[in-house]
Every structure is written in C-alpha cells, then in structure tokens.
Amino acid sequence: MDTTEFRKRGKEMVDYIADYFEQLEERQVYPDVEPGYLRPLIPDSAPQEPEGFEDVLKDVERIIMPGVTHWHSPYFFAYFPTASSFPALLADVLSGGLGCIGFSWAASPACTELETVMLDWLGKMINLPEEFLAGKDGEGGGVIQGSASEATLVTLLAARTKTIRRVQSENPELTEADIMSKLVAYASDQFCATLGTTPCCSFDRLLELGPICNKENIWMHIDAAYAGSAFICPEFRHLLNGVEFADSFNFNPHKWLLVNFDCSAMWVKKRSDLTNAFKLDPLYLQHCHQESGLVTDYRHWQIPLGRRFRSLKMWFVFRMYGVKGLQEYIRKHVKLSHEFENLVLQDKRFEICAEVTLGLVCFRLKGSNELNEALLKSINEARKIHLVPCHLREKFVLRFAICSRTVESVHIQFAWKHISELATELLNA
Amino acid sequence: MDTTEFRKRGKEMVDYIADYFEQLEERQVYPDVEPGYLRPLIPDSAPQEPEGFEDVLKDVERIIMPGVTHWHSPYFFAYFPTASSFPALLADVLSGGLGCIGFSWAASPACTELETVMLDWLGKMINLPEEFLAGKDGEGGGVIQGSASEATLVTLLAARTKTIRRVQSENPELTEADIMSKLVAYASDQFCATLGTTPCCSFDRLLELGPICNKENIWMHIDAAYAGSAFICPEFRHLLNGVEFADSFNFNPHKWLLVNFDCSAMWVKKRSDLTNAFKLDPLYLQHCHQESGLVTDYRHWQIPLGRRFRSLKMWFVFRMYGVKGLQEYIRKHVKLSHEFENLVLQDKRFEICAEVTLGLVCFRLKGSNELNEALLKSINEARKIHLVPCHLREKFVLRFAICSRTVESVHIQFAWKHISELATELLNA
C-alpha cells in the first residue's frame, strides 16, 4: 500500500468509524456469540499472497462486529467508563504515523518534553501540590503509565529500593536480603490507598492515613484510577485532600477524561526515587544530554523500555475541550447517576447500597442474593443494556456506571424502566 | 466535535500523515533542539475554553515536529527498527474507534478470540512447535504483551509460582518464604536466553541450554525481540532450533514485522502456568463462561488489567502483505545490511565487529575507542543519518541497523559515502 492508497483507505476508515458512532445506538450492546465463535470463521493460517483492504474491511463487519461488546454504546453501564473522544482518536492517528519510541529524551525529544508538560497541566487541573510537578526545575514530575496496575507495581518497586537503602544506611551490617525479608506492604482489601474503589466508588481517609505513613517512613501511594478525573471540578476536589502526604499519586484519564486508553497518569514527589530503582544504561541507549540534569529519560520510570507518543492525545483533548468542557462532561455524568439514583429511591422494592458520589450507583432488590443474581441475569440476557455486579459485605449488588460519552437522560430513563419491568416479571414469576 | 467534523478532521489528519511519509526523506532525521526547548513554546496550563483543530494542527508543525527524531526516515539506522505500515495504521484507527477493553472474554469476545487465532497464525509462520499453539483445545497459546520486558517479567513471575508450588509439594514442611529465599534465576549478560541481542544481534545456543534446563526443572524463557520476525523465512528458521526445550518464547512483531508498536508476541506451552500466577477474580470481572474451559481471559496473562484490541493490526498486516510479502520485506533488509557490510569490508581503515546475520552491522575504525567515539559524534552532529553505538568486549562499536520500511540501496550507498568522508576528515585532522 503506497501513500496514495493510504489516503483513500484512511478516509474510508474514518468514515467507517464515524458511521459506527452514528449507528452505535442501534447495535446490540452485548454480543450473542458463544465461546469459540471466531475460529471457524477465518482460515487456519495466514494467507501466502496479499489480500485487498476491501476484503479485510468486509470481514470486520462479518467476523469482528458480531463479537464486540460496545463499550461506547449509550446502553453500556458496566465496569467503569473507558474514554473515547474524537480529539484523542485524531491524536492517536498522528502518534501512530510518527511512530517514535520515546524511551529516552534523545529518542524523540518532543515525545518526552510534551509528556512532562502535559502531566504538569493535568496536575494543575486537579490542583496537585506543587511538589508533584516537574516545573522548570522541580524534583517531582509526572509520567504516563499503561495502567494503574503498572503504576502500583512501579511505585512498589521504587518504595522497596528506597526503603532498603534507607535501612542499609542506618544499619550497614544488614544485607539486602536481610532487609528484603522483613519488608511489609500495607493495603486495604482494595490495595493501597484508594480514591474511588471499583466495586462501589468508596474513598479511603487520606487525612488519617497520610500522617501515619509520613511518621513511620512508609511510602504512600494513592490510586484514584476512576475518580481522579472528577478532581478537575472544584466541588469534588476535597476528595483528594490529604494527597500532600503521599509519595506518589495515580489516576487514569483513559477512564473518565476523554483521553483514549491507554493513558494512566502518575506523579511522584521525588523522581530520583524512580530512577534509583529502574535505571538501566547500556551504551546504545545513552545520549550526550543524559547526565546534564536537564532531561528526563522515561525508560527509568517504567517497566517497559519502549513507549508511544501518548501525550499527544492529552494535548489534543485538553485544548479541544478546554478545562470548562471537561468539567461539564464530568458534571453531566454525575448528574445522570443521581438521576438514576432517584429513580431507584422512588421504587420501594429496591435499595441503594453505597453513597453515590460520582458516576456509579450500587443498587439491589431488597431480598436474597439469588434474587438479585436472577435480576442481573435477566437484564444481561435481554441485551438491551449491560451491567456487571459486585459484592459489598457479602451482598450481591448491581453496579450501574455512567459510561458512554453520548449517554443522555433518555437512556437513563429507558434503562430504569427496563430494569423495573424485569424486576416485576421476576417478582411475579 | 461531532461525527461530521470528525469526518472532515480525520481525513485532514490522514492527509497530514500521508504528506509526512511522502516528505519524510527531506526532514532532518535527528532534531536540533536542546533540552527544555518545548516548555517555553506552550502555555503554562491547559486552556479554559476550547480551541479549534486547526490551531492544534498548526502547533504540531511549529512545536512538535522540530523535536521529533524521525524513526521512519530512510536515514535512520539507530537502535533497532520499530514497525510502521499503512495496514497497521488503519487497523489502529479501527481499534481506537471500537475502544473496547479486552480484559476478559466477555468484555469483548472478538478482541480475545482474534488475538488467540492471530498468535496461532504467527506461531505457524515461524514454525513454532505445536505445543505453543492454542488450537481448538491445546494447553498452550499466545498473547500480546506491550513489550519484551513485560513478557520477561510475566514469565519470571510465572516461573517463580510454578517452582514454589513444585518444591512445596515435594517438601510440605517448607514455607513459601523458605523456598523464595533460595530461588535463583540464571541469565547471560543480556538476560535470559536471547536470540538476536541488542548490541550485536548474537544468538545463545538453545540446543545446549535447553536440555540442561529441562533436566534441572528450570523454566526456560527465550527472548528474540528483534530477530524473531526473521524466522518467518525458512533460511533463518534454524536460528530458532531448540525452542522445543523452552517453556515460553517471545518476539516483537512491532520491531520488524510491520505491526506498529506495541505488539510483543509471547507464547507458553502451558497456559495454566500463567493463570496460576496471575489469576484475579473480583465479581465485577467474572462472567458465566469463565469456568467453562472454553474461553481465555487475558487479564490472567499479564500485569495490566486493561488491554486494547491489538490483534486487529496483526490481522490487517498479515492479510494485506501476505506471508510472501512479509518474507520479501525481511529479505530486503538483510540484503541491505550485507550491502553495507561489503562496503565496510572494502575499506581497509574499518573492521566488522560481529557476524552479520540479519539487519545489523557492527563496525568501527581500526583504532582507539576515542577515535570511534569521535567518528560517531561527527556522524550524529552532521544530522544526515542517525546511528547509536554499543560496547563489544570493551570496544566502542558503531551499530548500523537497517530500520526504515522505505530504505533502499541508494540510502545505504549515501550513508556509507558520508561515513567514509567523515572518517577521512577525522583521520586527516
């Protein structure tokens, strides 16, 4: 395929995606396929000779689409949102086209420098303490990780290295293995300090945990994977109070801030804590500026070596929505979750199971777990909307998460009417 | 931005990328910017009000492009190649548009099932032993990781869990901590068994290592990050002989097989070794098919929870190039590296420092390390081509890697003439 054909096919693909979004509401949100459906539909092995784009695109509709769960359908209320916006899609096309691998400053200076500045922009948007920002010559700074799990792993390893060195400097007679065998990591049943847990969007009390961690020399990492995006709204920022005690903080703009997956933002107060743990310097990765103190080599901040130019999509989204546009987006979702909450509260057969703070409503029929399992089964089997459950203190609970960029009141009303009718059928059965 | 504007802007972006590739040869391969160049060019914080796409795109040319290292320029010979092809770019647009997160089968069945089948296709292309394939009911199978580092980490953790369980079943009196403290991982100075090392593309002797590992119950992981793509050509497949002794094998189609980053392919003989180490099952991630034995939940195969629909780009590339097209591509690169090798061999001032097997030539001026450092400096400062060095047994060596999809003999000839002239200047200085 040469550039002439790419121009043609690229534009066809853009139209395909635009059509997809325009017709998304008509597609069944959850697929009908059974495990193993795909293998019989395609050949056993790759073709020897090239095939045309048109044949491949035809197969997307025939083979792929019947097996897709439509995460961006306005009838999708499962898990948590995953971001999708047109500015992010456009930026990803650019990122893919440039195709640079930013493991060091020299490997593509723009890739590293835009990332550092975008993490500062985002840190300011949520009013993070100055110490977490890179600024012109700060000791802290931000980095894009692939996921909150990777951010947790990276900070855990950094905390381990830092603690071992501290203990060793205080007790030179101890070996690394001695110290390692005594290390302890504290976590809640959601792990590490969490703002906005997955089951029910609950919040740990940072103002109580933080001072203890600081006093006892414990590295404090805060994971606000879903909830973090809401902190760009002043009325939700108080949920982040106490972050000033933390060593590291992480949330996922790829969940609720319209920056397509993957984009997990992580900040540390001392970047040297990361580079001490991860520094890897074979000659082929070195460059003349690396010891200048002026540059960031992000390979020392993460598990993988390679990295894509992901800050472009933050830049496109932040500029093309503006902070006000992003705040409106968050507020719309929170408003819709309260709309659903109110519908549930008006029906005496149901109960709300956790405080509704952001875009998640946990609810259930008053009654047994089996009854609620049956309700969820009938909801998901009807294929009109899609939800997933959770356990809250042994209770089987339905989670209703506001997810889609295009979800409106009409979809909330439809979903509730549908759930309510299925409940009636179930209770009358 | 609505779908109407996305159609317009998406097509403009496709044209921008096509233009970029058409004019890439004229762009300076390595940028002139100094550390910190970008921050003064953009505002301190995100705008409150939305800006237009045109303003953003103008800034791409003004702010980003001056700081880009052009990895796909035909004058880029640094590191190893990173893949770029139009079919992969098109597939990534589709993947971004669908925006599903395939952590479980149910989260998007097509995402999981296409990945399993594509890893089978690719495994067959390199003639991996049947045990590594998923097939209809195999015990093995493949998965896409983000990078070879992640693949190594995942297999290391799986090996640890497997070994602890084995030792514990043989010695029930031992605790997990007892066993853990005695575990040993063996590695060469490139870590784990490696086919195609980064400094000089050397190969470990699998046929010697493999039987020892098997006899001693040692998990053997093979990393062929760069070289693996070449195994689709029968004439290079012998380099993989001995893989039959391995427990896990990994290479990066995102390096040399035209599947854009990230796409690191990893196979295991026993998928249960991974799922035993990583299984994570909160209720909100469970689904009714998961205990059926029929489905794969890839969240148990990796560190992150979320995952993009990356197998689409394998599918598009394999079909639109065909195996023959991909073989031709590999062979062209290997031919070009031998062309460069021959040019070096004809100049008695230079020496070749490692056997040229695939697309990498390690060479140096006969003389001191300082002399070769000076040569590399003058090459990179001239900005006509871009190379990086390595150390081979204390010697400072220049690496010439065939990287770009569009590199041809004319660029090799130019690069050599340029290097040769700079060497003359240096030796006459």
Which residue, among A1, A9, A14, would best test binding to B if mutated, counting the most B CBs under 10 Å from its CB?
A: A14
The lowest-confidence range among A210-214, A296-300, A322-326, B186-190 is B186-190
Q: Which of A15-24, B199-208, B379-388 has the lowest mean pLDDT?
A: B199-208
Q: Is the pLDDT of residue B188 over 80?
A: no
Provide mean pLDDT across the span A164-182.
90
The alpha carbon of A119 is separated from its chain's Cα centroid by a whole number of angstroms, namely 15
Cβ–Cβ < 8 Å for A262, B308: yes
**Mean pLDDT, rounded, for A237-245:** 96
B3 to A18: CB separation less than 8 angstroms, yes or no: yes
Tell me how far apart the alpha carbons of residues B139 and B268 are, in angstroms, rounded to a whole number: 9
On the question of pLDDT at A305 being above 90, the answer is: no
Q: Are A405 and A85 in contact (CB under 8 A)?
A: yes
| Confidence check: pLDDT of A227 > 70 | yes
State both tokens at B181.
């403290």
- A117 sits in which H/E element: helix A109-125
Q: Which two tokens stand for residue B105?
A: 């089968």
Q: Are B246 and B378 part of one and the same domain?
A: no
Pairwise CB contact (< 8 Å): A322 & B150: no
For residue A23, give the 3-state DSSP assignment.
coil
pLDDT tens digits, one per residue of A250-279: 999 999 999 999 999 999 999 999 988 887
Q: Assess whether B282 and B359 both reside in one domain.
A: no
Residues B373 and B420 in one domain: yes
Contact call for A68 and B110, based on CB within 8 A: yes
Tell whether B239 and B362 lie within a shared domain.
Answer: no
Is position A325 within any domain? no
**A46 vs B contacts (CB less than 8 Å):** 121-122, 124-125, 318-319, 322-323
Short-list B97, B31, B27, CA closest to B68: B31
pLDDT digits (tens, 9 = 90+) for A108-127: 999 999 999 999 999 999 99
Which residues make Cβ contacts (< 8 Å) with residue A259, sequence separation at least 6? A83, A85, A88, A253, A313, A314, A317
CB atoms within 10 A of CB B337: 21
Mean pLDDT over B268-282 rounds to 87
**Residue B94 placed within a domain:** no
DSSP-derived letter for residue A33 is P
Nearest CA in chain B to A83: B99
Test A110 with B38 for CB contact under 8 angstroms: yes
Q: Calculate mean pLDDT across residues B342-361.
A: 98
pLDDT tier at A429 (50, 70, 90 boundaries)? confident
Is the four-CA dihedral A225, A231, A233, A237 of positive or negative sign?
positive
Query: Do residue B113 and residue B232 come from a single domain?
Result: yes
Instruction: Give me the CATH number covering residue A194.
Output: 3.40.640.10
Please tell me the distance from the alpha carbon of residue A12 to that of residue B321, in angstroms, as a whole number: 19
Please tell me whether residues B56 and B108 are part of one structural domain.
no
Q: Do B114 and B236 lie in a common domain? A: yes
Does ipTM come in above 0.85? yes
Q: Which residue has the higher pLDDT, A280 or B107?
A: B107
Q: Write out residues 309-338 of B within 8 Å (CB-CB) of A.
A: 312, 315-316, 318-325
In a domain, B88, yes or no: no
CA distance A281 to B360: 20
The whole-number average pLDDT for the span B135-154 is 93
Q: Which residue has the higher pLDDT, B352 or A193?
A: B352
Q: Does A51 touch chain B (CB under 8 A)?
A: yes
If pLDDT is split at 50, 70 and 90, which confidence band does A190 have?
low
List, as one string, the DSSP characters of B238-270: GGGTTGGG-SEEEE-HHHHSS--SS-EEEEES-
> Is a pLDDT exceeding 80 seen at residue A188?
no
Sort B326 into a burial class: Cβ within 10 Å, 0-12 / 13-18 / 19+: buried
Comparing CA positions, the residue from A93, A79, A94, A89 lying closest to residue A21 is A89
Tell me whether residue B409 is in a domain. yes
- B392: tokens are 């081979």
Q: In whole angstroms, give the CA distance from residue B14 to residue B90.
A: 10
Q: Are B370 and B407 in contact (CB under 8 A)?
A: no
pLDDT of residue B331: 98
List A residues 286-305 in contact with B (Cβ-Cβ < 8 A). Answer: 289, 292, 294-295, 303-305
**Closest C-alpha among B82, B42, B85, B40 to residue B60:** B42
Top residue of A4, A8, A13 to mutate, by most chain B CBs within 10 Å, is A13
Dist. CA B223–CA B178, nearest whole Å: 30
User: Do B276 and B166 reside in the same domain of the chain?
Assistant: yes
Residue B269 lies in a domain: yes
Q: What is the CATH number of the domain that holds B384?
A: 3.90.1150.10
A124 lies in some domain: yes
Give the mean model confidence (pLDDT) for residues A64-72. 98
Contact (Cβ atoms closer than 8 angstroms) between residue A151 and residue A250: yes
| B319 in a structural domain | no
In 3-state terms, chain A is what percent helix, strand and coil (to 5)? 50, 10, 40
Q: Are residues B17 and B51 in the same domain?
A: yes
On average, the pLDDT of chain B sits at 95
Q: What's the average model confidence in pLDDT over B351-372?
A: 98
Total domains, chain B? 3
Helix, strand, coil proportions of chain B in percent (round to 5)? 50, 10, 40
> Which residue range(s) make up the domain with B283?
100-308
The answer to whether the beta carbons of residues B340 and B408 sit under 8 Å apart is: no
**A362-383: pLDDT as tens digits:** 999 999 999 999 999 999 999 9
Please tell me the distance from the alpha carbon of residue A223 to that of residue A250, in angstroms, as a whole number.
5
pLDDT per residue over B29-60, tens digit each?
999 999 999 999 999 999 999 999 999 999 99
pLDDT at A292 over 90: no
Q: Quick one: B412 and B281 in the same domain? A: no
- Which whole number is the average pLDDT over B109-133? 98
* Residue B118 located in a structural domain: yes
Number of alpha helices (DSSP H) and beta strands (DSSP E) in chain B: 12, 9
Q: Do A20 and B65 touch (CB under 8 A)?
A: no
Residue A189 has pLDDT above 80, yes or no: no
pLDDT at A281 over 80: no
Task: State the pLDDT at residue B187.
Answer: 84
Least confident residue range of B27-31, B265-269, B278-282: B278-282
pLDDT at position B190, please?
67
| Whether B334 and B294 share a structural domain | no
Question: How many contacts, defined by CB atoms under 8 Å, are there between A and B?
Answer: 402
CA dihedral B154, A64, B314, A306 (to 10 degrees): -50
CATH of the domain at B13: 1.20.1340.10
**Where residue A104 falls among pLDDT bands split at 50, 70, 90?**
very high
Closest CA to B113 of B141, B85, B92: B141
**Residue of chain A whose Cα is closest to the Cα of B56:** A316
Beta-carbon separation of A325 and B63 below 8 A: no
Q: pLDDT at residue B282 above 90?
A: no
E runs forming strands in B290-381: 350-352, 360-365
Question: What does the alpha-carbon distance between residue A29 and residue A68 come to, in Å, rounded to a whole number?
Answer: 8
Give how far A205 is from chain B: nearest CA, Å.
Answer: 23
Query: Does the beta-carbon distance from B97 to A20 stay under 8 Å?
Result: yes
Percent pLDDT > 70 in chain B is 100
CA angle in degrees (0–180, nearest 5) for B235-B237-B241: 135
DSSP state string for A314-342: HHHHHHHHHHHHHHHHHHHHHHHHHHHHH
Nearest residue of chain B to residue A111 (CA atoms): B68
pTM for the structure as a whole: 0.97
* Cα-to-chain-centroid distance, residue A366: 32
Q: At B292, is the pLDDT very low, low, confident or very high (cuts 50, 70, 90)?
A: confident
